[in-house]
Chain A
Amino acid sequence: MSISREEVEKVSLLGRLLLGPGELEKMTSQMGQILDYMHLLSEVDTENVEPMAHALDLTNVLRDDTPGVSLPRDEALAAAPHRDDECFLVPAVLGDP
Chain B
Amino acid sequence: MSTPHKVVIGLEVHVQLDTRTKLFCSCSTQFGAPPNTQTCPLCIGMPGTLPVMNRRALELGMKAALALNCEIPRFTKWDRKNYYYPDLPKGYQISQFDLPMSCDGYLPISDAKGRFEPKRVGIIRAHLEEDAGKSMHAEAAGKADSRIDLNRCGTPLLEIVSEPDMRSAEEAKAFLTELKLLLVYLGVSDCNMQEGSLRVDANINLHVDTSEGTKATPIVEVKNMNSFRAVERALAYEIVRQTEAWEETHTELGGPGGFKTTRGWDESAQVTRPQRTKEESSDYRYFPEPDLVPVTVTEDQIEQSRQSLGELPAALRTRLEATYEITPYDSDVLVNQGRALVDYYIELAEACGDGKQAANWVQQDVLRTLNERQIPVEQFPVSAAALAPLLEKVRCGKLDANRGREVLAGMVELGRGLEDVMREMGIAEVDDSALETLCRELLEANPKIVADLKAGKQKAVGGLIGQAKKQNPNVNPGKVRQLCLELVEKM
Task: Report A's interface with B, CB cutoff 8 A.
Answer: 10, 13-14, 16, 53-54, 56, 58-73, 76-77, 79, 82, 84, 86-97
Contact check: which of B38, B39, B223, B294 meets A59 at CB < 8 Å? B294
CB distance from A74 to the nearest CB of B (A): 9
Contact check: which of A62, A67, A88 meets B58 at CB < 8 Å? A62
Known: A10-B280, A63-B54. A93 touches B146 (CB 8 A): yes
Residues from chain A with a CB closer than 8 A to the CB of B39 are 70-71, 76
Question: Contact between B142 and A94 (Cβ–Cβ < 8 Å)?
Answer: yes
Q: A86-B36, A87-B36, A92-B144 are in contact. List 16 more A-B contacts (CB 8 A).
A: A54-B293, A58-B293, A60-B296, A65-B19, A65-B55, A67-B20, A68-B27, A69-B40, A71-B40, A73-B34, A77-B36, A87-B147, A90-B86, A90-B145, A91-B145, A93-B146
Task: Report B's interface with A, CB cutoff 8 A.
Answer: 19-21, 25-28, 34-41, 44, 46, 52-58, 83-86, 88, 135-138, 141-150, 223, 262, 275-277, 280-281, 283, 285, 287-288, 290, 292-296
Residues from chain B with a CB closer than 8 A to the CB of A77 are 36
CA gap between A15 and B94 in the complex, in Å? 18
CB distance from B262 to the nearest CB of A (A): 7
Known: A53-B290, A92-B141. A66 touches B147 (CB 8 A): no
CB distance from B137 to the nearest CB of A (A): 6
The B interface, classified by DSSP as helix, strand, loop or mixed, is loop
Contact check: which of A61, A71, A89 meets B52 at CB < 8 Å? A61
CA gap between A13 and B137 in the complex, in Å? 24
Question: Contact between A65 and B54 (Cβ–Cβ < 8 Å)?
Answer: yes
Residues from chain B with a CB closer than 8 A to the CB of A91 are 145-146
Q: List 12 A-B contacts (CB under 8 A).
A: A53-B287, A59-B293, A60-B295, A61-B53, A62-B58, A64-B56, A65-B57, A68-B25, A77-B36, A86-B147, A92-B141, A96-B223
Residues from chain A with a CB closer than 8 A to the CB of B21 are 65-68
Question: Contact between B148 and A67 (Cβ–Cβ < 8 Å)?
Answer: no
Known: A58-B293, A70-B28. A63 touches B41 (CB 8 A): no
CB distance from B13 to the nearest CB of A (A): 18
Question: Contact between A90 and B280 (Cβ–Cβ < 8 Å)?
Answer: no
Residues from chain A with a CB closer than 8 A to the CB of B142 are 92, 94
CA gap between A96 and B276 in the complex, in Å? 8
CA gap between A59 and B53 in the complex, in Å? 11
Contact check: which of A58, A69, A84 meets B147 at CB < 8 Å? A84
Question: Contact between A88 and B295 (Cβ–Cβ < 8 Å)?
Answer: no
Contact check: which of B35, B281, B283, B292 meets A87 at CB < 8 Å? B35
Question: Contact between A54 and B148 (Cβ–Cβ < 8 Å)?
Answer: no
CA gap between A61 and B77 in the complex, in Å? 12
Residues from chain B with a CB closer than 8 A to the CB of A68 are 21, 25-27, 40
Residues from chain A with a CB closer than 8 A to the CB of B36 are 73, 76-77, 86-88
Contact check: which of B54, B147, B150 meets A89 at CB < 8 Å? B147
CA gap between A10 and B144 in the complex, in Å? 29
CB distance from B292 to the nearest CB of A (A): 8
| Residue among B52, B143, B145, B288 with most chain A CB within 10 A | B145
Contact check: which of B40, B88, B143, B150 meets A92 at CB < 8 Å? B143
| Residue among A53, A70, A77 with most chain B CB within 10 A | A70
Contact check: which of B26, B40, B44, B57 meets A66 at CB < 8 Å? B26
Write the chain A residue with the least CB distance to B223.
A96
Write the chain B residue with the least CB distance to A58.
B293
CA gap between A43 and B137 in the complex, in Å? 52
Known: A65-B56, A71-B40. A87 touches B293 (CB 8 A): no
CA gap between A10 and B280 in the complex, in Å? 8
Residues from chain A with a CB closer than 8 A to the CB of B35 are 73, 86-87
CA gap between A91 and B262 in the complex, in Å? 24
Question: Contact between B148 and A92 (Cβ–Cβ < 8 Å)?
Answer: no
Question: Contact between B54 and A96 (Cβ–Cβ < 8 Å)?
Answer: no
Residues from chain B with a CB closer than 8 A to the CB of A61 are 52-53, 292-293
Question: Contact between B53 and A62 (Cβ–Cβ < 8 Å)?
Answer: yes
CA gap between A21 and B294 in the complex, in Å? 43
